Amino acid sequence: MPDLWSPLVRPHLSSSSWSLGRTAILAVALALLIAPRAATGAEPPSEADQTLSCQLVLKRAGERIVSTHLKSTRACLAAWDRCDAVGRDTPRCFARATRTCERARRRITRERARRQRTIVTACDTVADAALRDNRGLGFDMLVDTCRERYDITVADAEGIGVCLTAQHTCDARAILDATRSLASPAATSVARNLLDTGCPIPRNEPVTGIGPPLAPKCARDLERLVADTLLKRLRGLQGCGTRFHRCRLASPDDPACEARAAAHCGAALERITRRSDAKRDALLARCGTATENAAAITCDEGTDATVGNAAVCLLERAACAASELLQFETPRGHALTAAAVESVRVAGCDLVLPTIRPTPPADLPNEFEGVVDAPTATTTPAIAPPATPTIATSPQTLSTPTSEPTITPTPSPTPTTTIDACLGYALAIDPKNPSTLYTSVRGRGVFKNTTAGRAPWIPLGLTNVVVNAFAINPISPTTLFAATEGAGVLRSITGGTRWETTGLFAITNADRVRALILEPTAPDVVYAGTHGAGIVRSTTSGASWQVTALFSFPGGKFVRSLAFGPGATTVVAGVADGGTYRSRSRGNSWEFTSLATLPGGRAVLSLASNPRTGNVVYAGAENGDLFRSVDDGNAWSATNFKAFGNGQPRALAVVPNEAAIVYASRDGDVERSVNRGGTWQTTSFAARAGTTLVCALAVARDDVQTLYAATNSGRVFSSSDRGATWRDISAGL
């Protein structure tokens, strides 16, 4: 804005007087601008306005970080390229290039700090629910990703800004690193070290082996084309995300709004792609290395080593990076866009990007699976087999099949007995963060909640798999296991965003897993109670498995529940017909216990213990009895549970550090005992939840007051006063 006052006023004032006078003039002007608004009593901005304003600032910040990084990095590398040319490799030239890179690094660092400040300023006033909820901006979806990739906690606007900055810096650097590998100047690695801007992890390995080095001019042109494609596609996606998000906020009941947004976005992205392809073809023709049918080429290691292939690969990576960056700027905006606009889903991206599809097609690309919006949405995240697991049985060893196994989970049958009615309903609490919960709902998949139920649940997919139980690594809680009905044990090392098979399905009759526990002091040791193969054990976090000797015991093939005794290697197994068995050698040998000799003690439904609080183990039986052992699961006696009412104790939970307090379900109610099962008191659960079956109970490790219950109606409830009152926290399920 031109300074119209200086020529008139400044000649008559000293330097200090002019500075003070100008400050006073600006203050008066600002007061005049604010006064009319205050006088008219204008309403403060609405929550929707604040949310949209925050979203626009986030997208602007993301674009500026990427563009500054690309421009500054290219200037640095160009300076080193000039020194690398024939006859220019002198100390003076290298000194100039070093100074250029230092200036570039400072620009990048300043821009990062500036954008983080603007994000905090614009987004700090947005309500927490609007900022994190998957019906607002949806940043709860990035909590695990930011923590795992960058060790950043996304709890407020500041955390969002730091994670966004790190992601944009890393993706911009990865794109340039990949492009520079084709030019291959000797000084590139030196320049990269000088320009280290704090990306905490290497995002992608440089593209190698798919194209020969280019002539300097062709390399620069390709570098410019890839950077330009990344920025233009990011800007196009940002506009799309804003349009869709505005439709959801301003016109939630107007499908025509989203239809118009989809048509506009599809056309805009198609124009960007056409122009990028045209520039690519012109570049390849100019460099004399055009490739026929280049559009069909993907970034595979087996691709022929031509510059044409490399160009296609790099542009694909740019499109992928743009989609990923939009996810970190506006998670929900990206999800809405990807659901409606086919071209947003770029095949070949190694990214986990959410989409929203009321009825997902069978050929939905794996890298875009994961629902982030409506509870009615369904998704299936990728289930990728691990690298060559070895599955050992006793006494012989089975190798992984040479062909990649196809997982065809057994469909959940219509329950014919009350026992099967709880298959597919599980509940677990993160041992380090009691606000993080996992649950499964048969036919709807797996869900996660990071707010102890205050915000809606986040879908994690697995809609075509029946999940019966979870086990979470207490040392590294982003690693969790899922016991499934037909796919064995699945593992995730990303907090549930992606799942992989563990190879257990290759063991005969071990694909139906009913119970799952991890050894408390050595969580790489996993025990899976199967319906047909007894207990199968892994000492390598699921990489290899062994069938234990329980398989040969009467009733030992059909395991329903597992629990640990006080010893780190003591395991108690509850079976369908045989009571309980105990192993004090990590499953290498088993011994019969007295439970099967008691009336009703042969058919065990549930087990619970707390290894930190003594030798007490509880067992719920199919006949409605609840048994207790005070000697590590060896000798058993009946409690008074059955005397207080009828119903099966399908779920049990022992309060941490207070072994005398135990919770048990009685069909559709939850009961509490404060004297190790001597007497029982009915809670208010049935009155709150209605007619249903309680299938799982969970108590936080360090919060003895809070209790969670999952039912076979697909609902989850919480109590913060030991069951006196209950709250339905099923939003999003």
Q: What is the mean pLDDT of each run of 10 residues along the chain (733 residues)?
A: 43 44 48 46 68 84 86 80 60 77 84 89 83 73 77 83 83 70 47 51 37 61 81 82 75 75 82 84 70 39 54 74 76 65 48 27 29 32 37 33 34 42 94 93 93 90 92 92 92 89 79 92 91 91 88 87 79 90 89 89 89 79 92 89 91 84 93 91 88 91 87 94 92 91
Q: Are 538 and 529 in contact (CB under 8 A)?
A: no
What phi, psi does 255 have (nearest 5°)?
-65, -25
User: CB of 574 within 8 A of CB of 559?
Assistant: yes
Nearest to 419 by CA among 514, 512, 486: 514
Q: What's the alpha-carbon Rg for the chain, to the nearest Å?
A: 30
From residue 306, give the alpha-carbon distance in Å to each of 84, 94, 291, 317, 318.
24, 32, 8, 17, 19
Neighbours of 373 (CB within 10 A): 23
CA distance 327 to 354: 8
Q: How many other CB atoms are found less than 10 A from the CB of residue 284?
A: 21
| Helix residue spans in 427-548 (DSSP H) | none
Count of CA atoms in the C-beta half-sphere (13 A) of 403: 3
- The pLDDT score that the predictor gives to residue 689 is 84
| Residue partners of 352: CB distance under 8 A and separation at least 6 | 145, 367, 369, 370, 381, 494, 497, 498
Q: Please answer whether residues 486 and 512 qualify as being in contact, where contact means their C-beta atoms are separated by less than 8 angstroms.
A: yes
pLDDT at 604: 93
CA distance 130 to 321: 26
319: Cβ contacts below 8 Å, ≥ 6 apart: 229, 233, 273, 346, 349
DSSP state of 599: T
Contact 659, 704 (CB under 8 A): no
pLDDT for position 334: 65
- Res 42: pLDDT: 52
Q: Would you call 199 helix, strand, or coil by DSSP?
A: coil
Strand 383-384 relative to strand 662-666: parallel, antiparallel, unpaired?
A: unpaired
User: Strand 580-583 relative to strand 591-592: parallel, antiparallel, unpaired?
Assistant: antiparallel
pTM for the full predicted model? 0.49
Beta sheet of 571-575, edge-to-edge order: 559-564, 571-575, 580-583, 591-592
Q: Sheet containing 681-682: give its strands across.
A: 652-654, 662-666, 669-673, 681-682
Rounded Cα distance between 234 and 320, Å, is 10
User: What amino acid is encoded at 27 in this protein?
Assistant: A
What is the β-pairing status of strands 617-621 and 604-609?
antiparallel
- Which of 187-192's residues contact partners 24+ apart within 8 Å by CB, and which partners? 187/80, 187/81, 187/83, 187/84, 187/94, 187/97, 188/77, 188/80, 190/80, 191/76, 191/77, 191/79, 191/80, 191/97, 191/101
CA dist 331 and 339 (Å) reads 12
Q: Which residues contact 719 (CB under 8 A, 6 or more apart)?
A: 683, 685, 706, 707, 708, 709, 725, 726, 727
